[in-house]
Structure 1
Amino acid sequence: MSTPTAHQPPEVNQRRVAMATLVGTTIEWYDFFIYATAAGLVFAHLFFEPAGASIGLLLAFASVGISFLFRPLGAFLAGHFGDKIGRRPMLVITLILMGASTTLIGVLPSFETAGLVAPILLLLLRILQGISAGGEWGGAVLMAVEHAPRERRGRAGAVPQLGVPLGMLLASGITALMTGVISPGEAFLAWGWRVPFLLSVVLVVVGYLVRRAVDESPIFLEIAARKQQTKVPVVELFRKHWLLVILAALVFAGNNAAGYMATGGFIPSYASGPAVGLERTDVLLAITFAAATWFIFTLLAGFLSDKIGRKRTYLIGFSCQALMVFPLFWMINTGSLPMLYLALGLFTIGLGLSYGPQASWYSEIFPASVRFSGVSISYALGAIVGGAFAPTIAQALVNATGSSTAVSAYLLGMTAISLVAVSLLRDRKGIDLSMDNQAEQEVGATIFDARRAPAFVPAAEGSVASR
């Protein structure tokens, strides 16, 4: 085990940081997935009914995707200020913005009551959710990874990643409770769908109190003390590291396309619709089960990446995902509920293994002075390329072909793109995260595969790890 340094605070502080990032990201993604679930189940009827059933569903899924277009704006803003004033303030701001937007969606009037104003307000609040999500992830993962000892960054970085499956588990579980027990049938359409949105108020208060209690990142405090903050981090990022941003974004695209479409908005609608015909509550419970298995393999991936490296873990994950894209729908199309559980459970193995290492790998490939901007913008761009309109694309493919085969082919293509991006990036597990700009420029070429890059060995203070 490494000797404690300024970058390795006591265990108690690491646990506090882990809890703060986990609680915050769970709340953020609960809010985000509640929208995706409601879009597939009720928003087509409540906000887009004049367009007709099929087009209304496409518009509802498109409203899910529009928030992704504004993630880069949130990433730019949070990255800029996160690299200048600190990670912690941005975590609190993004949490409040997401919670307020989600709660307000819960009190919106429907199209029948307010006409065109209703979908416009819905889209505006969804845009605010996108801005918040764009800034949330980068701050959370940096707080987790930058507080952790270098040999445990993978598992530390996996903790905020767990907020995604936990948020989905909460969202689908509470929605299933509303559809199956508290307000089944017409009552769910009338008022039951609003309850999960309104619950966001309670969650945000809890998240705010937890996040206010954590210390600022020691890496940021160190570069601030050395006065190494970049004046305009985004400009510096794209001037020197634009290729790295593109590759990092493509690494995430395949995972996000599969995760957001398959276990988020599309499958609840597809499996409970005429194509498959399962009961809505049964499908939501299956999605809840999938969120639990996603959680397990995301956590496992963090530990695995500390043992065998980020890159190898990714390659295993995307290979598993590629093997399941066709069997996923073959099993769902049987109309058997046990087969739905099996399909989603197997699919989330690759999903978790290709998501768990992301926080640590992103943190290790960007310089400290532009790291918040780098990880946030890469994540936001990857979400646009991957998941932004995946449910809309999937629904359009089913409408055009009458089959789910085209959807599987689409997922396979996105997975292949990410595999190529992973193969081009170099594993830099264990580097010194506080390296200054000059040192980072020196090793900038080593982002690519080690066979084509000069080898570096750790200096006395652990400047660079040769991988």
Structure 2
Amino acid sequence: MKPSVPAAATDTVAAKSRRRRTIIASMVGTTIEWYDFNIYGSVAALVFGKIFFPDVDPAAGTLLALATFGVGFAARPIGGIIFGHIGDRIGRKAALIATIMMMGAATVAIGLLPTYDSIGILAPVLLVLCRLIQGIGLGGEWGGAVLMVVEQDESADNRGRAGSWMQSASPMGFLLSAATLAAVSALTTEEQFMEWGWRIPFLLSAPLVLVGLLIRVKIVESSVFIRNQRQSDEKPAKAPILLVLRHAPKMILLVVLLGLGQQVAYFVINVFSLSYVTQHTDISKATVLNAVAVGAVFQLLSILYFGRLSDRVGRRIPFFIGAVGMAVWAFAVYPLLGTGNFALMVLGVSVAMVFQGAMYGVLAAFIAELFDTSYRYTGISLGYMLIGVVGGGFAPLIATSLLDTTGSVTSVAIYISLSSVLTLIAAYFAPETSKRDLDRILDNDTGITESTPRPGESVAHSGQQRPD
């Protein structure tokens, strides 16, 4: 007869298994959504100017195409508010299922769009509409996926590591999109790619989204959210966004500045670089894509390493390392890219992505710990999506404009460097959050938060604190 397993051990094993399933499900879904988003950025830089804006010169066409890329970021805060509302009132899981369906539908629709030659001005209008829907979907996706992972972990000692796994979905999505584009480019001629080949990566989103959806419906709701719902004497706030604006406006500003440096660096290097190198040098599109893909591997490793490190040394130190490094290395990236030597191109991009990953890997846990449970989904979604507006979506457009205005890529390096300096300042003034309890409920009348008692824990031991 086999010895029975103690209940506590069984519970521990079950909890670890649940967290593992949640991380995998959240990562798969978010990887697919980042695939959708990154496919758009790459194809916009390489193709969309020519097929959706053919009546303008190539440089202006590229600017317009990159502007449509930025439109998706402008829509992301709207998605953050909409799905943050759902996530804070109904649950994180319901919001995540809706966002993956929305992103998938918009991406497939882009792959089916007629071009300017077929329907004229209606073509770019429909392109912008699909991009808006993409932006709204991703605006609600990130916050929910992060909370499903971070709020599922019972120990503050592992939140940085758990959050970094979620952040790794971004380079994974990029690698998936880059591999797909490389395969399509290799199997088609330049004329075929321009005519119909570019549609294939968008259409492939359909089966990917179906797989992500099937995985996502099986995950369990955030344990912190469930405890908050059970323990709170009040109904969920009717408008979580109002609580954010009332109690945490400074935290929103802090989040934007914390994410500014890594967002500008990522999107300038991974999107602007494609159009810069292919238009201003003799280096092939495939060479640039391959260099950026190698950089994404180093970014992935950096994200996972610094997320784990932040559980030991705190959230701010990785930000210091990443922001200082990026501020300096920004001036080396484009001289190395311009050499045309593949090894030097990889060096330039990869070192930059290590510094970017140091900041990005810690961001999920860091900003989740800044907000109270009753409006956490809305708070982190709005803050993170505003980073995208200020630092991400329009960064390639700003970089292109700087290059056209100054005639020197040094101006782009200065842009990346200054953004990193602002992030460094924000990290210096930010509170250290790595040991905070996520089980906190906001008293709307007093503005005081208290920890939600866990099963078997008395209120007296749950502690109280004022919101930061």
TM-score (norm 2): 0.92
Aligned counterpart for 2:255 among listed residues 236, 244, 248: 248
Q: Deviations over 1:275-295 (max 9, x none)?
A: 222111111111111111111
TM-score (norm 1): 0.92
For the 8 Å contact 2:261–2:421, the answer to whether it is kept is: yes
Aligned counterpart for 2:265 among listed residues 240, 251, 258: 258
- Taking the aligned partners of 1:40 and 1:462, their CA distance within structure 2 comes to 52
Find the residue that maps to 1:215 and give its secondary structure. coil
State the match for 2:72 in structure 1: 67
Deviation of the 1:210 alpha carbon: 0.8
State the match for 1:82 in structure 2: 87
State the match for 1:449 in structure 2: none
- Taking the aligned partners of 2:277 and 2:38, their CA distance within structure 1 comes to 17
Q: Which amino acid aligns with 1:162?
A: S
Cα–Cα, structure 1 residues 159 and 4, in superposed 2: closer, same or farther, change >3 Å?
Answer: farther
- Taking the aligned partners of 1:233 and 1:123, their CA distance within structure 2 comes to 29
Deviation of the 1:114 alpha carbon: 1.2
- Taking the aligned partners of 2:13 and 2:406, their CA distance within structure 1 comes to 55
Cα–Cα, structure 1 residues 403 and 9, in superposed 2: closer, same or farther, change >3 Å?
Answer: farther
- 2:361 aligned with 1:356, yes or no? yes
For the 8 Å contact 2:448–2:464, the answer to whether it is kept is: no
State the match for 1:124 in structure 2: 129
State the match for 1:450 in structure 2: none
Q: Deviations over 1:241-274 (max 9, x none)?
A: 11111111111111111111211x211111222x
Q: Which structure 2 residue ranges, 5 or more long, are not aligned?
A: 1-7, 451-459
Aligned counterpart for 2:176 among listed residues 163, 170, 180: 170
Find the residue that maps to 1:426 and give its secondary structure. coil
For the 8 Å contact 2:298–2:350, the answer to whether it is kept is: yes
Q: Deviations over 1:200-225 (max 9, x none)?
A: 00110010011101000011111111
- Taking the aligned partners of 2:202 and 2:27, their CA distance within structure 1 comes to 20
State the match for 1:270 in structure 2: 276
For the 8 Å contact 2:156–2:436, the answer to whether it is kept is: yes
State the match for 2:115 in structure 1: 110
State the match for 1:456 in structure 2: none
Q: Which amino acid aligns with 1:91?
A: L
Deviation of the 1:240 alpha carbon: 1.0
- Taking the aligned partners of 1:33 and 1:223, their CA distance within structure 2 comes to 35
Q: Which amino acid aligns with 1:153?
A: R
State the match for 1:225 in structure 2: 230
Over 2 Å off, 4+ runs? 3-9, 226-229, 438-444, 459-465
Q: CA RMSD in A?
A: 2.2
| Aligned pairs (5 A) from 1:98-247 | 98-148=103-153, 149-179=155-185, 181-227=186-232, 228=234, 229-247=236-254
- Taking the aligned partners of 2:54 and 2:177, their CA distance within structure 1 comes to 24
For the 8 Å contact 2:372–2:449, the answer to whether it is kept is: no
For the 8 Å contact 2:26–2:216, the answer to whether it is kept is: yes
Instruction: Give the percent of matched residue pairs that are identical in Structure 1 and Structure 2.
Output: 37
- Taking the aligned partners of 1:282 and 1:334, their CA distance within structure 2 comes to 12
Aligned counterpart for 2:24 among listed residues 8, 19, 26: 19
| Aligned pairs (5 A) from 1:416-435 | 416-435=421-440
For the 8 Å contact 1:276–1:332, the answer to whether it is kept is: no
Cα–Cα, structure 1 residues 296 and 347, in superposed 2: closer, same or farther, change >3 Å?
Answer: same
Range that drifts further, 327-336 or 143-152: 327-336
- Taking the aligned partners of 1:27 and 1:63, their CA distance within structure 2 comes to 21
Q: Which structure 1 residue ranges, 5 or more long, are not aligned?
A: 445-458
- 2:62 aligned with 1:47, yes or no? no
- Taking the aligned partners of 1:319 and 1:441, their CA distance within structure 2 comes to 36
Range that drifts further, 434-443 or 83-92: 434-443
- Taking the aligned partners of 1:4 and 1:60, their CA distance within structure 2 comes to 56
| Aligned pairs (5 A) from 1:291-302 | 291-302=296-307
